């Protein structure tokens, strides 16, 4: 075979693969480019989906509609939002269909997940990543929604958002963070509130430096349990140089230990440039006197990495929380306990 003939065949093959793979692979995953969704504006339409646990109380949907209306947003409810299949919000095919439909729908500007729970991992293979890449838009949620946030970012390059779900308690703190990120497009610095409770020092939502210093990288992460369950799949992003943020709830400390060990053995912790530990609500040591504390487990796993790290961020199963863009470059300051976006997360 001549050199020219070989070059022609190679070029043809690459062009064919690019066409078949679609923009979600070549424009997003392969090149590592970041795709920013359009910002929210008054009058925009938000699609409601239930990718995980069931929501069968219609009043919950009514409350979410009223909340969004108060933000001058319209609502489109997914066809299967109130479906139920055991503890899931309907069969896998239907939950995935709602997400695919909302991304493909030109009248929908953003997508809000009603709740977390469990089930998002089950539908990752059913999502139409090519269509998602062709119609980039805001996707907001946390907890079990971690699976969607990371898989969609990994497959399409789309920036997704770890923040309140529809049934969350939307406190002034959460609303302000969401508005500044999703409406205003601010490259803001996120820091915990400084509540002193009539005392001389901050007593609530304190931060604790694990390893001092500053680090820069893409923000990636979410719920530790969900991320651990995704290890070994094709739905996780490249962790190299990332700022990893983690949160969890209702897990005994030995389970946190086990899952951090999982991340270590999978090579994730050795690749990141910095770490932010949010809140681990109801993560007390187990019964008896033999348990490690959460502080001891974090010291065991995080301090040996010798990367800037801090704990106590307003990320997790709490009423007041940050809206954290997944995939956007940021700088953390482990001494001050801050996350500073280096660019807007929306366009």
Quote the pLDDT of residue 287.
62
Partnered with residue 281 across adjacent β-strands are: 249
User: What local confidence, expressed as pLDDT, does residue 29 receive?
Assistant: 45
Q: Which of 247, 273, 301, 320 is catalytic?
A: 247
Catalytic hit among 50, 53, 143, 228: 143
Contact 326, 220 (CB under 8 A): yes
Question: Which CATH architecture is the domain 45-168 placed in?
Answer: 3-Layer(aba) Sandwich (3.40)
Please count the CA atoms within 13 angstroms of the CA of 179 that sit on its side-chain side: 13
| CA–CA distances in Å: residue 128 to residues 31, 51, 140 | 19, 14, 18
Q: How many Å from the N-terminal Cα to the C-terminal Cα in the chain?
A: 49
Active site residue 317: yes
Hey, where are the domains in the chain? Answer: 45-168, 189-341
Dist CA 161 CA 145 (whole Å): 10
pLDDT value at residue 284 = 81
321: which residues sit within 8 A by CB, 6+ positions away?
Answer: 142, 163, 164, 168, 173, 174, 177, 314, 315
Q: What pLDDT shows up at residue 203?
A: 80
Q: How far apart (Å, rounded) are the C-alpha atoms in residues 147 and 124?
A: 8
Q: How far apart are CA 97 and CA 26, in angstroms?
A: 24
Residue 28: what pLDDT? 41
Q: Which pLDDT does position 288 carry in this prediction?
A: 57
pLDDT of residue 33: 87
User: Could you say which of 80, 153, 301, 317 is catalytic?
Assistant: 317
Q: Which regions of the chain are under pLDDT 50?
A: 1-31
Judge whether 228 counts as a catalytic residue. no
Measured CA to CA, the distance from residue 108 to residue 102 in angstroms comes to: 6
179/219 Cα distance (integer angstroms): 19
For position 56, what pLDDT does the model report?
Answer: 79
Please answer whether residues 297 and 193 qualify as being in contact, where contact means their C-beta atoms are separated by less than 8 angstroms. no
Question: What is the pTM for the complete model shown?
Answer: 0.89
- pLDDT value of position 27: 37
Tell me if residue 143 is catalytic: yes
Q: pLDDT tens for residues 50-77?
A: 999 998 788 999 999 999 999 999 999 9
**Homologous superfamily, domain 189-341:** LD-carboxypeptidase A C-terminal domain-like (3.50.30.60)
């Amino acid at each position: 075979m001549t050199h020219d003939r070989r070059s022609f065949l190679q070029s043809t093959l690459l062009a064919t693969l690019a066409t078949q793979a679609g923009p979600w692979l070549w424009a997003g995953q392969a090149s590592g480019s970041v795709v920013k969704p359009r910002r929210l504006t008054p009058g925009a339409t938000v699609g409601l989906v239930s990718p995980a646990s069931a929501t069968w109380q219609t009043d919950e949907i009514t409350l979410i509609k009223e909340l969004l209306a108060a933000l001058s947003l319209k609502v489109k409810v997914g066809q299967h939002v109130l479906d139920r299949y055991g503890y899931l919000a309907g069969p896998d095919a239907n939950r995935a269909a709602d997400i695919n439909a909302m991304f493909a729908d030109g009248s929908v500007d953003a997508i809000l997940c009603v709740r977390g729970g469990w089930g998002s991992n089950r539908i990752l293979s059913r999502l139409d990543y090519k269509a998602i890449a062709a119609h980039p838009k805001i996707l907001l949620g946390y907890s079990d929604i971690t699976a969607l946030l990371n898989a969609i970012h990994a497959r399409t390059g789309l920036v997704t958002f770890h923040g309140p779900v529809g049934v969350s308690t939307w406190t002034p703190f959460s609303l302000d963070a969401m508005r500044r990120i999703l409406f205003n497009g601010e490259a803001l610095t996120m820091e915990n509130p400084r509540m002193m409770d009539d005392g001389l020092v901050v007593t609530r939502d304190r931060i604790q430096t694990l390893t001092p210093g500053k680090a820069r990288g893409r923000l990636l992460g979410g719920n530790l349990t969900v991320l651990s369950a995704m290890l070994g799949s094709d739905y996780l992003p490249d962790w190299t140089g990332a700022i990893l943020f983690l949160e969890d709830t209702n897990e005994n400390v030995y389970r946190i230990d086990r899952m951090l060990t999982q991340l270590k053995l999978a090579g994730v912790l050795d690749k990141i440039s910095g770490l932010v530990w949010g809140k681990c609500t109801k993560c007390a040591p187990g019964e008896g006197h033999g348990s490690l504390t959460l502080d001891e487990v974090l010291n065991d796993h995080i301090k040996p990495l010798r990367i800037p790290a801090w704990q106590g961020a307003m990320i997790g199963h709490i009423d007041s929380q940050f809206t954290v863009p997944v995939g956007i470059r940021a700088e953390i300051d482990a001494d001050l306990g801050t996350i500073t976006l280096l660019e807007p997360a929306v366009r």
